[in-house]
Amino acid sequence: MKMLRLLPALVLVAGLSFTGCKPKDSDIKASVEKSLKENPATSSVMVMVNDGVATLSGEVADAAAQSESAAKATATKGVKSVVNNVTVAAPVMAPAPVTITADDPLTNSVRDATKDYPTVTATVADGVITLNGTIAKASLPKLMMALNSLQPKKVDNKLTVK
Amino acid sequence: MALQDKYKGLTDAATAAGVSDLQVREQDGVLYIDGTAPSGAVKDQLWTKYGEIDPNFAGGDVVMNVKVAMDAAVTKVKVTTESSNLNIRKGPGTDQPIVGKAAHGETITLVSKSNDQWWLVRTDDGEEGYAYAQYLSAE
């Protein structure tokens, strides 16, 4: 009987001692942050801890850093569960390399484009179109548009504009 | 970066005018500007802007390849030569034999644009061949 009466008290004591052992949210937060700071890839992740639930937020460069953040938080003492709101940054689009037409097709296309300009001489070397001769000012933009669309390396315009 | 600064007015204008797939890259002292303009007027406007920055395009430091977006549904094109007839050739190239001619101002059928410079066309007389795309514009 005595034991039975003591039971609630024991439970209470057990509960208290359990609460006593439980790390404080602020301490958990500090440990998770420390752990995340060890890797530059996860160092920018922000941490919030509420009743042992760690919520991670921020942006990292790749999925590996995203899962590593969660793994580190999960492994931290006192963390009951992890809400991983860390996002992966959109990859920076590497600019596509400039396409430059090879000399043979370029020479043919340049010949086609300059056919109607008898006063213009065009030569192609290493992707560079060199223009010599004369042209009317009004015709110049049209010729340049045509030549620029052929994807040359460069248009070296030495034309005398009249 | 110096070239991007020099032509900032041009690339800003391209962005403002709604040029899609705009790519601006500097390589070996040349600024490459690629994209697709929503209309021929926008393309002309960009070339005017380019001409303001580099009169007569003599600098040789820009290659601007801005195409004009064309509705896939477009099947009719108008011959926009200066005044002469437009040659229609057997294959894509001025070395190809002439198989027909389209008159200045005539509207002809666009069959295929598989080649950027040479479009496959058909006249109302049924002559089919390649014509230089620069002298054709969408109706």
Query: What is B39-82 written as a DSSP string?
Result: SHHHHHHHHHHHHHHSGGG-S--EEEEEEE---TT--EEEE--S
Q: pLDDT under 50 in chain B at which residues?
A: none
Interval B115-133: pLDDT, tens = 888 999 999 888 899 999 9
pLDDT at position A13 over 80: no
Yes or no, beta carbons of B63 and A115 under 8 Å apart: no
Q: Residue range A92-105: average pLDDT? A: 83
Q: Do A144 and B58 touch (CB under 8 A)?
A: no
Other Cβ atoms closer than 10 A to B28:
8
What per-residue confidence (pLDDT) applies to B1? Answer: 62
- What's the distance, CA A60 to chain centroid? 9
- In terms of phi and psi (left: phi > 0; alpha: psi -120 to 50; beta: otherwise), the region of A138 is alpha
Confidence of residue A69 (pLDDT cuts 50, 70, 90): very high
Domain covering B2-68, topology: Histidine-containing Protein; Chain: A; (3.30.1340)
User: DSSP of A83-137, one letter per residue?
Assistant: EE--EEPPPP-PPPPPP---HHHHHHHHHHHHTT-TTEEEEEETTEEEEEEEE-T
- Same structural domain, A61 and A116: no
- The residues, ordered by sequence, that sit 6+ positions from B104 with a Cβ below 8 Å of its Cβ are B79, B80, B81, B82, B83, B84, B85, B86
B67 contacts A96? CB cut-off 8 A: no
Residue B54: what pLDDT? 95
Chain A CB contacts of B119 below 8 Å: none
Domain B76-138 belongs to what topology? SH3 type barrels. (2.30.30)
- B65 and chain A: CB distance < 8 Å anywhere? yes
Q: How much is the mean pLDDT over chain A? A: 87
pLDDT in the model for residue B48: 95
Inform me whether the C-beta atom of residue A107 falls under 8 Å from chain B C-beta atoms.
no
Tokens in use for A123?
A: 């030569």
Q: Do B27 and A98 touch (CB under 8 A)?
A: yes
Confidence at residue B53, expressed as pLDDT on a 0 to 100 scale: 96
Q: Range of A89's domain? A: 24-94
ipTM of this complex: 0.82
Place of tokens 């049924």: B126
pLDDT tops 90 at residue A93: no
Burial class (CB in 10 A: 0-12, 13-18, 19+), A20: exposed
Q: Which among B64, B67, B61, B72 has a CA at the least distance from the CA of B19?
A: B67
In a domain, A3, yes or no: no
Mean pLDDT (whole number) for A99-119: 92
The nearest CA of chain B is from the CA of A152 a distance in Å of 7
Query: Which residue of A98, A109, A115 is in closest CB contact with B25?
Result: A98
Residues A88 and A140 in one domain: no
A32 in B contact zone (CB under 8 Å): no
Handedness of CA A160, A162, B5, B8 (dihedral sign): negative
Q: What is the pLDDT of residues B96-107, one digit of tens each?
A: 999 999 999 999
Distance, in Å, from the CA atom of A112 to the CA atom of A38, rounded to the nearest integer, reads 63
Segment A38-65, tens digit of pLDDT: 999 999 999 999 999 999 999 999 999 9
Nearest chain A residue (CA) to B134: A146
**Mean pLDDT along residues A117-145:** 94
Q: If phi over 0 gives left and psi between -120 and 50 gives alpha, with beta otherwise, what is residue B29? A: left
Instruction: Report the b/e string of B57-74 with b at 16+ CB within 10 A.
Output: bebbbbbbbbeebeeeee
Residue A7 lies in a domain: no
Q: Do B47 and A144 touch (CB under 8 A)?
A: yes
Asked whether residue A112 carries a pLDDT value surpassing 60, the answer given is: yes
The nearest CA of chain B is from the CA of A43 a distance in Å of 32
Give the number of domains in chain A.
2
Instruction: Name every chain A residue with its beta carbon within 8 A of the beta carbon of B116.
Output: 149
Domain with residue A138: its CATH number is 3.30.1340.30
**Is residue A120 very low, low, confident or very high in pLDDT (cuts 50, 70, 90)?**
very high
Chain B positions touching A156 (Cβ under 8 A) are 60
Same domain, A51 and A83: yes
